[in-house]
Amino acid sequence: PPAASEAAAMPESLWAAAPMVDAVEVLVAKKAASGDLVVVQGQVQDFGDLATFRLVDSSLPPCTDQCATPWDFCCEDPADILAATINVEFLDGDLPASWSLKGAKGLDHLTKVCVTGTLHTDEAGNARISATSIAKL
């Protein structure tokens, strides 16, 4: 990836201009049909190198006293973490965009956010959201 000083910034147009209404938690959103438009809220677990991150249901408490990196949720059962997590990606065509979300508008691990996008679930049950907007809560 390009050096941080050369990296493209997240487009301002992706930040929601108004509060998102009717947002549901990750566990509820994952029950929607693939292809549905969803509005999902949760906390950022981790960021990818590209325009991607993992969103965790707000019911999962970060393990601030037990983990060196509380966003790993190391005190929770791995199966519970997997069930309460969804991947979020902002696309450029069919692939994740080349910019990172970490640091954009102060986004960091465990930041509470809301995203709007299309839910995609594969045959194995893996879910991801092709996001079109984001807002900090």
DSSP strand pairing (37-47 vs 112-121): antiparallel
Mean pLDDT of 55-74: 91
The mean pLDDT of the chain is: 91
**Higher confidence at residue 116 or residue 124?**
116
**Higher confidence at residue 6 or residue 93?**
93
Q: How many CB atoms lie within 10 A of CB 27?
A: 18
Mean pLDDT of 27-38: 96
Question: 66-76, pLDDT tens digit by residue?
Answer: 888 999 999 99
Mean pLDDT of 116-126: 94
Residue 118: pLDDT band with limits 50, 70, 90: very high
Residues facing 87 on adjacent strands: 54, 128
Q: What percent of the chain has pLDDT over 70?
A: 95
Residue 18: pLDDT band with limits 50, 70, 90: confident
Is the pTM above the cut of 0.75? yes
pLDDT of residue 7: 56
Give the closest residue to 110 by CA, choosing from 21, 45, 13, 28. 45
pLDDT of residue 3: 45
